[in-house]
Structure 1
Amino acid sequence: MDLLPIKRALLSVTDKSGLVEFATFLHENGVELVSTGGTARMLTEAGLKVTPVSKVTGFPEILGGRVKTLHPHIHAGILADKDNPEHLSTLKELGIAAFDLIVVNLYNFAEAARKGLDLRAAIEEIDIGGPCMLRATAKNFHSMLVLPDPADYAEVSAELKANEMRVGLEFRRRMAAKTFERTSNYDRMITDYLSSKTA
């Protein structure tokens, strides 16, 4: 798919810079907003209509937030190839709505490491669901747009305005490459941290 219409987005971010403005732009252009935890609270307080992830999954956030987006209703909605009739048929059969845009940035593990937290406290700052969503969306860039960095909100807004709320394949490929670089660096940082510690 060359030009991807953006109709449904999932937003779950630690760095909330520019988030309300970007989400407002999406909302004003008819994009359904799905969100988690603190991100959902911030958007709701800004007056935006937001669907909680728990309503999509039919399951509450559990284990202190460790498990919230790790669910087929999220990941099938991300990983479905929109050019594959079999994938679309499966979504329809199971009542799963596809996503078009994932806006995710990761827990700030570097800050946790700098604080000198003990090992058990530090590992709570290791993001699991975020990298899973980022990597799944980046893999499926032919059918999805992934945004791992608030610095890209302005450019994607311009792209969407220029193309009647659609985004081109080349832009999506570029964001996918940036995303894999981000998750790779994140994993390297955690690897280095754990390798320097003793249990």
Structure 2
Amino acid sequence: MNLLPVKRAILSVTDKTGLAEFGRFLSDHGCELVSTGGTKKMLSEVGLPVTSVSDITDFPEILGGRVKTLHPHIHGGILADKDDEGHMETLREFGIETFDLICVNLYNFADAVSKGLDLKAAVEQIDIGGPTMLRASAKNFHSILVVPDPQYYPRIQKEIEENGGISLELRKEMAALTFKLVSEYDAMITRYLSENDA
């Protein structure tokens, strides 16, 4: 698939810079917004229609928010190859809808560490669902766009306005940037755990 129309998106971000404007742009261009926690709250407060992830999964957030997006109705919609009829038939069989855009940035682990939290408290700031969604959407860039940072919002908006969708070239570029970002995040956690006593 070369040009990807953006009709359904997950937005789940720690850095909410430009989020309201980006969400409004997507909504105004016919995109259904799906979200979690504080991101959903912010989008709702600025008057945007937004569906909760728990409404998609039919399962509440559990374990203090540790588990919310780790579900087949989320990851099936992210990882399905839209050019593979077998994948699409499986989604139809299980009532899973595809996503076209995943906008995620991660818990600020560096900030947590800088506050001098003890090991147990710092570990709670290690993001699990975020990197999982980022890696899944980056892997599947042929069928989905991953947006890992607010700095890319203007480019995404420009491409949608000019072309009605997102090119394969930009999706591949965002995928590479995303894998780099997740790799750096994991390396930071590795250093922290190696340098701090249990």
Same fold per TM (> 0.5)?
yes
How far off is 1:32 after superposition? 0.2
The residue type paired with residue 170 of structure 2 is F
Deviations 1:134-175 (A, max 9, x none): 0000000000000000000001100110112x1000000000
Counterpart residue number, 2:36: 36
Cα deviation for residue 119 of structure 1 reads 0.3
Q: Distance in 2 between the 1:56 and 1:17 partners?
A: 26
| CA shift for structure 1 position 8 | 0.1
2:108 corresponds to which residue? 108
Quote the Cα distance in structure 2 between the aligned partners of 1:41 and 1:149.
19
- Structure 2: where are the runs of 5+ without partners? none
Cα RMSD for the two superposed structures: 0.4
- Structure 2 residue 64 is the aligned partner of structure 1 residue 64: yes
* Runs of 4 or more above 3 Å deviation: none
- Which position in structure 2 is the counterpart of 1:193? 192
Percent sequence identity over aligned pairs: 66
Amino acid at match of 1:62: I
Report how far residue 99 of structure 1 moved. 0.3
Provide Cα deviations, 1:52-110, integer angstroms capped at 9, x if missing partner: 00000000001110000000000000000000000000001100000000000000000
Partner residue, 2:174: 175
How does the TM-score come out when normalised to structure 2?
1.00
Q: How many residues align?
A: 198
What 5-or-longer segments of structure 1 have no aligned partner?
Answer: none
Aligned to 2:17: 17
- TM-score when scaled to structure 1? 0.99
Aligned to 1:125: 125
Q: Give the equivalent residue in structure 2 for 1:92.
A: 92
Residue 4 (structure 1) shift: 0.6
Give the match's secondary structure for 2:88: helix
Separation in 1, partners of 2:116, 2:176 = 32
